[in-house]
Each structure stands twice: as C-alpha cells, then as structure tokens.
A and B are shown apart, each in its own frame.
Chain A
Amino acid sequence: MRQVITVDGNEAVARVAHKLNEVIAIYPITPSSPMGEFADQWSAQGSPNLWGTVPLVQEMQSEGGAAGAVHGALQTGALTTTFTASQGLLLMIPNMYKIAGELTSTVFHIAARSIAAQGLSIFGDHSDVMATRATGWAMLFAGSVQEAQDFALIAQASTLESRIPFLHIMDGFRTSHEVMKIEALDDEDLRALVNEELIRAHRARALSPDRPVLRGTAQNPDVYFQARETVNPYYQRVPGIVQDYMNRFAERTGRQYRLFDYYGAPDAERVVVLMGSGAETAQETIEYLQAQDEKVGLVKVRLYRPFSVEAFIGALPSSVRVIAVLDRTKEPGSAGEPLYQDVVTAVAEGLSQNRPLVIGGRYGLSSKEFTPAMLIGLFEEMKKPSPKNHFTLGIHDDVSHASLPYDPNLCIEPPEVKRSVFWGLGSDGTVGANKNSIKIIGEETDFYAQGYFVYDSKKSGARTISHLRFGPKPIRSTYLIQEADFIAVHQFGFLERYNVLETAREGATLLINSPHDPAETWNHLPYEVQARIIEKKLTVYTINAYKVARDVGLGNLMNTVMQVCFFALSGVLPREEAIGKIKEAIRKTYGKRGEAVVRKNFAAVDAALAHLYPIEVPAAPTSTLRMPPVVSPQAPAFVQTVTAPMLAGKGDNLPVSALPADGTYPTGTSQWEKRNIAQEVPVWDPAVCIQCGKCVLVCPHAVIRAKVAPPEAFAQAPAGFQTAKAMWKGLEDQRYTLQVAVEDCTGCSLCVEVCPAKNKSQVGRKAINMEPQLPLRAQGREHWEFFLNLPDYPRHDSLSFSTVKNVQLLQPLFEFSGACAGCGETPYLKLLSQLFGDRCLIANATGCSSIYGGNLPTTPWTKNRAGRGPAWSNSLFEDNAEFGLGMRLTLDKQNQYARELLGQMREKLGAELVDALLQADQSDEAGIDAQRERVALLKSRLEGQEDAKAKDLLSLADVLVRKSVWIVGGDGWAYDIGFGGLDHVLASGRNVKLLVLDTEVYSNTGGQSSKATSLGAVAKFASGGKSTPKKDLGRIAMSYGYVYVAQVAMGANDAQTVKAFLEAESYPGPALIIAYSHCIAHGIDMAKGMEQQKLAAESAYWPLFRYDPRLKAQGRNPFQLDSRPPKIGFKDYALHENRYRMLRQINPQAAEQMFQAAQEAILARWRDYEQMAGVAAEEGTPQPSPSTASPATAREEV
C-alpha cells in the first residue's frame, strides 16, 4: 500500500524537487516561498537527494540573481532548480530565454500568481506564467496537490529527455497552500522515471576546461535566424516524450494523465477548456451536469507549451458544437487571452470541417472564487445561438458588460462530504489546529481530506477562516465552502462584526467560544445572529475555551480545546479514538518543543469536553443587541460604497464600475475601520504624566496623541475628558491633553513600557496604564471625536520640532495601520509623517511597509485639515530607490521650469511676489508656511489667464513649496534586491531621503535571511544560524563622503532619532537612515521591543551614529558616534530573542562559536567607529561586562 500523506502543494512539490536536484537557488516570494524554505531546511538537516548527496541550497539577492545562479549551475552540469512566482518569474525571463536557447534541462516550480498592475496581488492566477510564453519553456499545469507532486516528477523526467526546460505550474494558494490527502511518491517511483543516463548526458554537456567549448556567442544577421530555427525538432518531440512519461507514470501509480484530459459525455456538444485548479471544479460540475443528462464535457490542459494541436483535437469529442476556453489571466488589448487564441488556432488548423464555435473568457484572477454555479452559468450561455465571446465569469461587469450571469445561490456540493468552517484569529492557533485535524483525518482514516485557509489583509488582530472538507471520495471542490455542516466561531467578537452563519446549511452545528456563562451566552448574541440560528435550525454549543486553556497554563492558546470540541461534535471519528489521535498529534507536533508544552496540551484535551455545553435555542430572537454598521455614517461616499462592502467581506459583489480604473485610491481610510481588537488599552493619568511625549512617539498605530490648546477650547468637553496644565515654557496658560483611540488601539502596550513616569504611591502604575477596553469603548469614542476637533498646534509657531516632547504635538499622517501589534517599523513612518508629511512623496518598496501601507480595504496614510498629506506609491520590490529618484527628478525639473516661468513673467505677476517666491527661505516651518501663502497668491493671479505660460505655471505652482522625497523600504530591498539601485541613487547626489526599516529579515514573507541578518541569528534560509556578519550598509554609504548617513534606534535614543530625521531632510543631497526595527520575526515579546532596541545599542551591536558631510565644511569630523562604548555583551542583548536562543536549542556548540564570533565582530567594528569618530585611543578597547542574561544563568544560589 502506498504511503498517504497530508500536505499542501508547496510541500508536495518541494519533496520531489529536493530529491531530484543537486543545486537549488532560492529567493522568497509569496506563494512559492515555502518550497524554498522546505528545501533549505531539509538540506540543513542533511536530508539527501535520490543519489545520497545533500542538495546545495543557495539563497540569492533576487529572483534575477537566482535565475543567473541556476543558469550557471546548469551550464556546469548540476541538476538545478528554483521556485518562484509573479514578479519573481518576470525577473527570470532574460535567463529563461538563454536557458531554453541553450537546450538546457531544468524544471522551475511555480506557484502561479497575479502580476502587479493597477495594484499588487499575492493571490493566484496565471498572469505570471503566461508572461513567459515566448521564452521557449515547456509549461505543465497541475490542478491539484496530487497532480503538483506527480507533475514535478513527470516534468523532471521529460526535461532530461527532451532538453527543453520546463515550468511546472500549480495555482498559487489554491493549490500551493491547500492541504490535501495525497498518495506520496517514493524513491523507487522517482528512480523508475528519471533516466540516469540522461543525467550523465546533461553533465557531459557541461562547460569544462577539460573539454573546452564556447557557449553564449554574439551572432550577426547572417546566422542568428537560422540558429534560432535549429531547435524546432526538440520542441516537436516534447509532447510525445511527456505523454510517454505520463504513461509510464500510470503504470507505476495507476494515475493516468494525458496531455489533454477529456472528462464528460462522449457525445458532448458543449465543452469547456481550462487548466490549473479550476479544472477540478469543472470536473465536479461536469459530473453533476452529466447526472442530469446534460451533454457537456471538459478538456483539462496539462501540457500547455509546446501546444500539441494534434493531441488537443484528439481529446475533443467529435460531437462538440461550442467550445468555451477559460483563461486565468488578462491580456489587455489582445484578440483574446492566450489559451483561447491557442484553441482557436488549433481548431482552425486541426479541423478542416465541422469546426465548433470557440468562445473565450476570463475567470479567477487573483484567486477570485471559481464555483460550479459560474460554470453552470457558462454552460447556459453556450446553449444560446450566439453566446457571448470575451466574457468574464464570477464578477459583475457593468462597464464593459462582459460578465456572464449565474445563480450565486446554486450549490452542488456532494452530500457525502462533511464540511466545516472555522472563524479564528491568527493568534489563537485555529489554523494550526485545523491543519492538525486534517492530518489526523487524512492519515488515520479512509476519508479524503482537504483544508484551505483564508487570511486577513491585516497583520494585527488578523481574522482567519478555515475551510475543511472530509469525504469518502477524492475532493475536487477548489472553491470555498458554500454550505457548511459545522461552523465554529473561535472569537466571540466576530459574531457582531461578520455574518459568520452565512454558509451554515439548515440543521448545521454551531460551536461558539464564549467568554460568558453557558446560560448567559445566548443573551449576548446580536439579534441578527439569533434570528439566523433559529431560521436555519442550528444546534448550538458553547465553551469558554480561553478559560479552559488558561486554567491548564496554556495562556491564550485555546486551539487544542476547540479542536477537541470539533471532533466531539462533528462525529468524524469516535470520540475516544479522536482524543487518542489528537494526543498523538500533539506529541508529534509539539514534542520537540519540550515535555511541558505537551503536558499542558494534554491537560487541555482532558479538560475540554467537561466544559462544552449545549445552548437551548428559543423559538424567537430575544436579543436587544444589534450588529453595528460597518463604517460610520460620517464616512465619505467612497468609503461607504466601496470600502465598507470590502470590510464586510462583500467585496466580491462590487461591480467593475465601483473601482478606480487606474488604481488610484483616496488616503485616510483606516480611520473608518474601527477594529476594536485590543483586549486592553492605555488609560492616561494626568496627575502622574510629565508630558514627555515618549508614548506618543513610540505608538506604532498612532492611537496615542497629544494636543495643547487654550482652556476655552475644552469648554464643551464631554464628561470625563481629562486635561492638565501644559508643561511648556510660554504655554503655561494652556491645557494639555493626551488621548487614546480605544477602538483603533491594538493593545500592544509599547507605550506603557516606555513611559518613564511612575505613580509615587503605586510604583507599578505609570502615567499610562492598560485597562480593559470594552468598558472604555463608548466613552473613548466620544473623547476621541472631541479630541480630533480640538485645534492643532500651529506648525509655523515658535516651538521647534527637534525634540520628542514637541513632536508629540504634530498630527501624524500615518495612522491605524494593519501592521503587527507593537510593530517596530511604523513609529519611524509616523514620525516621518509628523515632521514632513504635509509636503512629502513616498516611494515604498514592496514588503511589510507597502502592505500595511497600501493593502486594501483601508490604508493608513492620511491628510491634515488643509487636505495635505503624504502622496504614496509602490512600484516594485527591486526598483524602489530608482522609483523615488524619478519622483525627485520630476520635482527638480518642474521646479526649475516653474522658476524659469516666474522669471519670464516677473513684471506681469509683480516683481515683489516673484522675487519673494524665488528667494524664499524654506528652511523651517515658518518659511514653508510663508511660501505656501505666496503660492496661493500666485495662483490667484494666474487664475483665468489664457496664455500658455500662465497655464503651465499655474499647473506647476505647488512645486515651488519645498517637497521632500522619501524612499522607504525594508532590509530585503535595501541590502539585497534593491541594493544596486540604492547604491546608484545615493551616488547620484540628488536630494532624496532613504529610510531603511531594518528588521534584519524578509519580514513580510515570513522571516527569510537577508544580508542584514546578523551572525548567529536563525532565520529561514539560515536554519543553522547565519554564518556571516551583517552587511554594514552605513559604512558603504559613508564611503561616498557626500551622503548623509544615520543609524538610529528609537528605543535606544529617541532624541537622536528625531535629530537624524531632521538633519537628513535638511541635507541638500542624498541621505540614508538605517532604523533598527524590532519585529515579530525576531521572536520577542513585542511589548519589550523598545527595550530590545536599547540593549542592541548598549551592546554596540547597533551603534548609533550620524555622518553629516556638512560638518566637513566647518572643519569638523562629519562622523559623530552617538553611542557609548558597549556596556553589555552581545549575548545580554541577543538571548532575549528567539532567533538567537533557537540556535542554542538547535546546535549549542555552533551557537557558542557564532556568538563569540559575533561579539568579536562587534568589538572590532566598534573600534573602527571610534577611530572614525576620533575618540581618544587611551580610553582603550571596550570590554563588555560578562553575560548574565542566559536563561540558564538567570537565577542561581551562591
């Protein structure tokens, strides 16, 4: 019997790829990153390939780099692969042409994903792979996890035989992330298909000085064309080779694939053609329609390139009258999408008579749902005498009217399949437990199992929805569950925010994790929920899973408790057997993390059922609670009509006309999404507060704000609104207030940690203290509203904004982002927005900051009362510095042109005004304000003038006010993929500001190592600890001598941070700020993030410095070291973080060596910096005090 495994597509593919390769070049990109992670981890653990040697895995600096490395490895004869998607694949295109042109055997495994166009999307469609059609690669599409595994092998066998490189493609997320029970291939299966002689032939073609040849010539008009045609016979052989391997594969496994697989009625008249995961849903639909005697069929395309016309025509039933071709991509302006065009050509060329009508359409872009109902709608359309061509499926297109109608309520899910939907929070472990449940059912029972998970667009308070199917037959439903038998709501708060019962079938079971007593839970349900429960005749159970988990010492991890309840209620397995299996799974999953974890989870299993209660459902709803509106009625029209449906999970229903055609969206929308995700929020105590502004500065979500205003401004303050006498020289007669946006707070408590003011009677309390949110919600909303309407401190007034205390009075123009609670990056962006937000443009590299900065539905960049605020855009990951430079070039050019026009129109516009505009000193806020007034006057004089110059000047006038261009991104961009551009932009001498939010890993894709990762830190792609030190980006930039460079850490020295931002912005040339950004990927308590920053600086791991070229002109040393000599050891800082501690747990010896090496590197760099700063040598080499932070040494008796 074959081994059955329950894995997702990425793991299924990576298993085969790791077995069949010698060199693997990797780079993270969603949704393919896990394939690289698996490969890296398996190699780090010493897992060999099929030939007993461990594949060499190399992370590169970009996908372009990975493709280059692959090309080189292939040219020298190694079996080589890589994994990628989307923009990553596009970066590989130049090398792909070369690899194919040189007839090189390789397989790239692709988790196909959308391409960024009007907006970026991480989700699945075929846009990326379709963009590579011309490269000459074979393209083999898998439709399911099973096929993805199988085709990984068939592709490898075929490429070796054909010498044509293969893209092996699965659908991003739908297949790459779907967990499925599959039959595993074993080593013998791989050996049976992979021809060793062909591998040796591949090796024999390699470049070698022992048998030198030259490849990669430059060719001229005389021969290039002919040479390009030499490869035709190789392409002609591919279909035959692939089919041959498919047949041999079938002999071993019983799974028969064909180049084009036909399913359906032998006498079908209407046939759809598609490839990828949608074909699974199509097969399910065909089976349903056939049972109703519909003459329909389906052609699944497996080998898309080279396209075999013969095989395609052979697969079609001769009865076919209409063919509908479905493309999961869009090619604007084309005569039709690619597969459609191929089918049209095939029909034209392959059939000389009885040619069927061919229509084509698009479906499923960016993982848009593709359901049987949509297909049934299509089959209805195909019955018409003139069915619509170039249609779309699954959306409502009221602009081009291309969409086909369908019945969204039609559900054909097979009744024998058990379907369960779980609503959880990212942090509550719901998904992890569900993956465990699928494994249990998939691997321990005869049931087939499928799991698919829908995640949030926010990183804090993130909602997850798990869709689990179990059934006696293979599951082909590659769409979300439409009618569930079991619904679990793991977060009580969801009941008032989402329609969690929408997918409940009549008579389903509902399990609610409730903080209330079983007898009270019903009364706490909103009226709408009660009504749906009654209407759908649901059976309801409740448990206080958080309490059960806390009581056994698991804290907030209640997933095990809910998992037990699921098994108990769903009846998939006998109760006792299920409990035994859950415990086995716990030991398997958590055992390596220590006995204590296993024991407590076992205790949770044992305690769960005793606390599970049925709820008696009355005949009619009784609740006085109502679900609140999604957004406030005060929200602008766009937010009401477009954003609100997206927030409510109804974005699929938005028509085409609702969405901007060019990807331009309003800013300031996050303020309308009141997420209420914090259990506790900070509460101000004015009696203790010293008004230092530190809490305001560090708040990652801009929910703590301060204002100073005259006493009369508070006359109408709502009850309980607190103020204190302002502690500013010259403002003593005014009142100060500190307010918290309780509905927007994530409860991270960074603010409380940094508060320096302690209550003298209870030193545990500070000037702000965390209190439960719920009782504060209503009043907090009212206070916040009042606070926002208080006057802002005028920017151009006398206060200098060079201190933390004063900065707190500036309005942040970056607020309520979806970043992780306690994020270390966002405080810097907020500071940037406070200081320069009303006159800045931001070029944002793809990564965390582009996601929390620009991921719909709501975004955090906002504007002030005057309507000014940061203008933000994201181009790509790799080109951000160049993108920002382009913005600067425009501003400089336009400024120059505007000044020229002013000069030319001096007399006409008034010499005094023009001279003032041209000579304006805009070095401070007052100067900028005065220039804005001049520009307003200028515009009023230009208004209505008809000559071209006046019109031009009017359109450019705003550029006369000083603008600031900020190029923002993470370390993955700055140190790796974008470094070439960053270097060039720094060297350009242009007035651009680069802010590197350095988390020392690729945070957004899950913590892969970058060149900013430090020696000894464990990260993905550095499973055994990074073995080389962090790149010193600051020193590289300083080497130019004309670049302002600062290294900052807000938690270590907030005043230095503010100073660096101001200096950088004022510097009339390129400036680089490298900002230590603590991160969830460090494995720290995020509330202590600022404390970690302090330790990083105190250990000199992260020395603070500023390099200001202006000082040279004053005869001073431009390099200023703002840190003191190290006073703690590296380990005293590092061992507070899981990324370092883990290394001790993985490999204690290597850890000690690496930590020692890291310590030495830190001291060596410190000495260099001291020399640069000209610190007197007699102070001697610093010696950090001995490490005391080791957990093993934290307490001891002496």
Chain B
Amino acid sequence: MSKPDLSTSYLGIKLAHPVVASASPLSYTLDGIRRLEDAGVAAVVMYSLFEEQIEQESHALHHYLEYGTHSYAEALDYFPQPDQFNVGPHEYLELLRKAKEATQIPIMGSLNGVSSGGWIEYARMMQEAGADAIELNLYYLPTDPTLTGLEVEEMYLDVVRDVSQSVTIPIAVKVGPYFSNFTHMAARFVQAGASGLVLFNRFYQPDFDLEHLEVTPNLVLSRADELRLPLTWIAILYGRIQADFAITSGVHSHLEVLKGMMAGAKVVMMASELLKNGVERVGAILQDLQTWMQEHEYESIRQMQGSMSQKHVANPDAFERGNYMKVLRSWRPDPTGRLVK
C-alpha cells in the first residue's frame, strides 16, 4: 500500500501533517523554533505573549524609572533615559519575524489575556511581523463572587471580537472547558470571529510547599489520559460548530493523534511530550502514525477526521448522560466486597 496522505488544513492553512507544536518554552528562541522545524512539526504556535506581561513590563519600567526620583537634590534620578525602549512585544515580534525568515513552516503567534485593551493591538503587530495566524489564549480565574458567568463570557467574546477586527489573518481561540454550555460558547466564539478552537487550555493549579508554608506556582506536564476531555468535546462539537478544531493536552503518541483526528480535530498540538522526551519524538510519532494507518489501511488523515464524532458514531448517546450512568453502574462488588469493573 502506498504511503498514506497525512496532510491536513487548519485555519485555512495547508499543513503536511497534523502534528503542531503548541505554545511552550520550546519556542522561546529562534534555535528552539528551528529545532522544532527540523524535528518535523507541521507548524509552530509560538509561546504566549501575556496581557499582564505587556502591562507589567511597561509599568515596571515606568515605576523603576520614577521610583525615588526628584526627592534629593544630588540624585534627581537614578537611570539614564534612552530615547527608545523595546518594551512590550518588541522582542517577541522580532523573534516571530526572524522565525518566519528562518523556517518554511507556518508560524502562529499566541496572545494570552482576558480583557479588551490596548494590548490586543499586538495582534496586528504579529500579523505585520509575518504570523500566519493568531492563537488567542483566553484564561480568566474568577475570584470575585459578584461577577456573573455571563459577564465573564462577554469579556471573552469582546476580546475575540476586538482581535478579529484588528487582523485579517485567521484566529483560533484556546479556552478551558469550564462553561455552563460549552457548545453554545463555542458557537459564540465562532460568531465573534474565531476560525478555530483549540481545546483545551489547562487549569492553573498551584501547589502547597509544606516546609515553607507557601503556595508554589506549578504546572505539571500533561498525561495521555487527559486527552479524554478535549476528545469528548471535539467529538460533540464536530459538525455542529463551523470551526477547525485543534486538540491539545495529553497528546503523547500516534494513538492520541489518531483519536484526535477521529473525534474531528484538524490538528493536534503537543508540548509536554516534546519537553519531556525531546523534539525528536515528532519523527517517531509521525512514523508510528503512518505505520498504523498503513496497517489499518487508511489512505489519508482527512478520511478519518470526524469519523468518531458524535455525529458519525453508531451510538451517539455514548457521549451523553445515559452513558455516564452506565459507566458508573459498570462497577460491581466482587465476592470480597471490593468494587471491580
């Protein structure tokens, strides 16, 4: 059998195969991006430019240039005042520009934020720097009890609208699953201008350091079983929402790639596996993918995309509440009283 066709398209961009590097420290440097390309990824989503980072950097610079100034006659200030500072996204945009020059694969910029504001202007700058698309990473941790879910949703949608109005390149929205009705929300993201949905953002969960009694920021690498959540949702949304899906969180081998495609994703996005085992894993995964497809006589990735979505499976209720009940009931006590499946 001839080699299967691994190509796919995402946000209207043709890709050689569906394995894309997601936003991660792997793209901090030009060398890193080059290594990803050499390892064989189909595209790179660059690390995220954070709303807070842009604001904070600007404020920190301002604060420390002003701090203690004009207080004492001998030291009216403490730093030289150059004509120009590269604050905000300059470094990021420069890297993006160089990455575009140095590589052949599509490079997507990534903006991470939550509110509308001057910072989203940077989407336009990313476009000018050559980004093929923009991934908009929306992540808000509401701690204010007076803030309603609706208000949070509107905040998200405003950002998507503002960004989509400022650029002509496609936008993908990366969010978490914690919405009352994710299907509705997904539809509204698309209405607001998103061409793609990247599912899912992972929930930031700090840890406790018991020795020092401190809360420590912590983000553990994903495990393969985390794929289930996005898999479920992509399978449900496929065909209902007119957007390209990217599946992320838990893609560690060709098996997750296959599952993702079958649920209806156009691409998979990987980081944890590459951080843990090296970017060379991309080549091995693509090889395994190809072998599996050959063994199972698949001609192309496109052939399988959405094949196991809720629309296309034999038992659509497998995704729904009734099935949940069956799963729970499938546990039975064995003769010793221990619960087994």
Chain B residue numbers with a CB within 8 Å of A851 are 74
Residue contact B70 to A1003, C-beta cutoff 8 Å:
no
Asked if residues A593 and B87 are in contact (CB atoms below 8 Å), the reply is yes
Per a CB cutoff under 8 Å, which of B71, B74, B78 touches A464? Answer: B71
**13 pairs of residues in contact across A and B, judged by CB atoms under 8 Å:** A425-B71, A427-B67, A464-B70, A592-B83, A592-B84, A593-B58, A593-B87, A594-B61, A1006-B77, A1083-B78, A1141-B61, A1145-B87, A1146-B85
B71 touches A427 (CB 8 A): yes
Q: Are B80 and A37 interface neighbours, CB within 8 A? A: yes
Q: Which residue of A lies closest to B73 (CB)?
A: A455
Assess whether B337 is interfacial by the CB under 8 Å rule: no
Q: Cβ of B222: which chain A residues have Cβ within 8 Å of it?
A: 1198
Name the segment of A126-134, A200-208, A429-437, A611-619 touching the other chain: A429-437
Smallest Cβ-Cβ distance to B77: which chain A residue: A1006
Instruction: Judge whether B24 is part of the interface by a CB distance below 8 angstroms.
Output: yes
Give the docked Cα–Cα distance between A1019 and B75 (Å): 13
A446 at the interface (CB under 8 A from B): no
B59 contacts A597, C-beta separation under 8 Å: yes
A-facing residues in B56-97 (Cβ within 8 Å):
56-88, 90-92, 94
Tell me if B80 and A1020 are in contact (CB < 8 A): yes
Residues of chain A within 8 A of B66, CB atoms compared: 429, 432, 557
- Of all chain B residues, the one with the shortest Cβ separation from A1139 is B79
> Which single member of B22, B78, B86 contacts A1144 (CB below 8 Å)?
B86
CA distance A41 to B80 in the complex (A): 7
A1195–B28 Cα distance when bound, in Å, is 12
Q: Are B68 and A1080 in contact (CB under 8 A)?
A: yes
Quick one: closest B residue to A1084, CB to CB? Answer: B64
Which chain B positions have C-beta within 8 A of A1196? 23-25, 47-48, 219
Contacts of A1020 in B (CB 8 A): 78-80
**Cβ contacts under 8 Å, B68 to chain A:** 426-427, 459, 820, 1080
Those of B92-121 within 8 Å (CB) of chain A: 92, 94, 112, 117-119, 121
| Candidates A455, A1018, A1138, A1148; contact of B60 at CB < 8 Å | A1138
| B124 interface hit (Cβ, 8 Å) | no
CA distance A459 to B94 in the complex (A): 40
Q: Nearest 6 A-B pairs (CB), nearest first?
A: A426-B71, A594-B58, A431-B70, A1138-B64, A1006-B75, A462-B71
**In the complex the two chains form, what is the Cα distance from A427 to B63 in whole Å?**
10
Cross-chain contact B57 with A1191 (CB below 8 angstroms): yes
Chain A hits for B118, CB < 8 A: 595-596, 599
Asked if A593 contacts B28 (CB within 8 A), the reply is no
Q: Which residues does B use to contact A, with CB under 8 Å?
A: 22-25, 28, 47-48, 50, 53-88, 90-92, 94, 112, 117-119, 121, 137, 201-202, 213-214, 217, 219, 221-222, 271-272, 275
B9 to chain A, nearest CB (A): 24
Would A763 and B213 count as touching, CB distance under 8 A? Answer: yes
- A1019 and B217 alpha carbons, distance in the complex (Å): 33
Contacting pair B119 A30 (CB below 8 A): no
Q: Whole-angstrom distance between the alpha carbons of A903 and B333 in the complex?
A: 102
Given A1192-B92, A1196-B23, answer yes or no on A1138-B72 (Cβ-Cβ < 8 Å).
no
Contacts of B23 in A (CB 8 A): 1196-1197
Among the listed A33, A458, A1004, A1018, which residue makes an inter-chain contact with B80, where contact means beta carbons less than 8 Å apart? A1018
Given contacts A431-B69, A758-B213, A820-B68, 17 further A-B contacts (CB under 8 A): A44-B82, A431-B76, A432-B69, A592-B84, A594-B61, A596-B54, A596-B55, A596-B119, A597-B58, A1006-B77, A1007-B79, A1081-B75, A1146-B86, A1148-B86, A1192-B53, A1195-B217, A1197-B22
- Whether A453 is near chain B, meaning CB under 8 Å from some CB there, is yes
Contact partner of B94 (CB less than 8 A), chosen from A177, A557, A1080, A1148, is: A1148
Q: Which residues of B contact A1198 (CB under 8 A)?
A: 22, 24-25, 219, 221-222, 271-272, 275
Cross-chain contact A1197 with B48 (CB below 8 angstroms): yes
A430 partner residues in chain B, CB cutoff 8 A: 70
Q: How far is the CA of A1141 from the CA of B87 in the complex (A)?
A: 10
Given A1144-B91, A1196-B24, are A1005 and B58 also a contact pair (CB < 8 Å)?
no
Nearest chain B residue, comparing its CB with the CB of A424: B70
Q: List, in ascending order, chain B residues with CB within 8 A of A41's CB.
A: 80-82
Query: 0/1 per residue, A541-582, Cβ < 8 Å to B?
Result: 000000000000001010000000000000000000000000
In the assembled complex, the Cα of A50 lies from the Cα of B256 at a distance in Å of 68
Bound Cα distance A458, B119 (Å): 39
- What's the least CB distance linking A603 to chain B, in Å? 11
When distances are taken between beta carbons in the complex, the residues of chain B under 8 Å from A431 are: 69-70, 76
- A1007 to B62 Cα, complex, angstroms: 17
Known interface pairs A1081-B78, A1191-B56; A1142-B61 also in contact (CB < 8 Å): yes
A1195→B271 CA distance, assembly (Å) = 15
Inter-chain CA distance A597–B59, complex, in Å, is: 6
Residues of A within 8 A of B78 (CB): 1003, 1006-1007, 1020, 1080-1081, 1083
Q: Which A-chain residue is minimally distant from B217 (CB atoms)?
A: A1195
Could you say which of B80, B91, B121, B275 contacts A44, with CB atoms under 8 Å apart?
B80
When distances are taken between beta carbons in the complex, the residues of chain A under 8 Å from B63 are 555
Q: Is the CB of A1145 within 8 A of B86?
A: yes
B85 surroundings in chain A (CB, below 8 A): 592-594, 1142, 1145-1146
Could you tell me the distance between the alpha carbons of A1003 and B71 in the complex, rounded to whole angstroms? 13
Q: Please tell me if A62 contacts chain B, counting CB pairs below 8 Å.
A: no
Q: Which residues from chain A contact B137 at a C-beta distance below 8 Å?
A: 1197
Q: Which of A50-76 contact B (CB under 8 A)?
A: none
Q: Which residue of chain A lies nearest to B68 when distances are taken between CB atoms in the complex? A: A1080
Residue from A33, A593, A1197 within 8 A of B61 (CB atoms): A593
Tell me the smallest distance from the CB of B74 to a CB of chain A, in Å. Answer: 4
Write out the residue numbers on chain B whose beta carbons fall within 8 Å of the beta carbon of A1191. Answer: 53, 56-57, 60
B69 pairs with A1146, CB closer than 8 A: no
* Complex Cα gap A312–B28 (Å): 72
Residues of B within 8 A of A456 (CB): 71-72
Q: Cα distance A31–B57 when bound, in Å?
A: 32
CA distance A491 to B50 in the complex (A): 36
Tell me whether B64 and A1004 are in contact (CB under 8 A): no
CB distance from A120 to the nearest CB of B (A): 11
Q: Mark A22-55, 1 if CB is under 8 A from B, else 0.
A: 0000000011011001001100110000000000
Which of B50, B73, B94, B202 has the largest count of A CB atoms less than 10 A from its CB? B73
Q: Which residue of B lies closest to A594 (CB)?
A: B58
Looking at B50, B59, B90, B117, the one whose CB has the most chain A CB atoms below 10 A away is B59
- Residues of B near A45 (CB, < 8 A) are 82-83
Q: With the chains together, A1146 CA to B84 CA distance in Å?
A: 7
Q: Is A1193 an interface residue (CB 8 A)?
A: yes
Distance, CA A597 to CA B64, complexed state (A): 13
A173 at interface by CB-CB < 8 Å: yes
B213 touching A1007, Cβ below 8 Å = no
User: Are A1194 and B53 in contact (CB-based, < 8 A)?
Assistant: yes
Min CB–CB distance A157 → chain B (angstroms): 30
Cα A40 to Cα B82 in complex, Å, equals 11
- A871 beta carbon closer than 8 Å to chain B: no
Contact with B along A1000-1032 (1 / 0, CB 8 A): 000111110000000000111001000000000
Q: How far is the CB of B329 from chain A (nearest CB, A)?
A: 37
In the complex, the answer to whether A426 meets B79 with C-beta atoms within 8 Å is no
| Shortest distance from the beta carbon of A504 to any chain B beta carbon, whole Å | 23
A1146 x B82 contact (CB < 8 A):
yes
CB-CB under 8 A for A426 and B80, given A1003-B75, A1192-B91, A1196-B47: no
**B121 pairs with A595, CB closer than 8 A:** yes
| Cβ-based interface call for A918 (8 A) | no
Residue A231 at the chain B interface, CB threshold 8 Å:
no
Shortest beta-carbon distance, B137 to chain A, in Å? 7
Indicate whether A784 reaches chain B with its CB closer than 8 angstroms: no
Residue pair B202, A594 in contact (C-beta under 8 Å) = no
Contacts A1083-B67, A1142-B79 given; does A594 touch B73 at CB 8 Å: no
Residue among A430, A456, A464, A597 with max Cβ neighbours from chain B (10 Å) = A597
B32 nearest CB across to chain A (Å): 12
Chain B residues closer than 8 Å to A432, beta-carbon distance: 66, 69-70
Nearest to B57 among chain A residues (CB) is: A1191
Name the distance in Å between B78's Cβ and chain A's nearest Cβ. 4
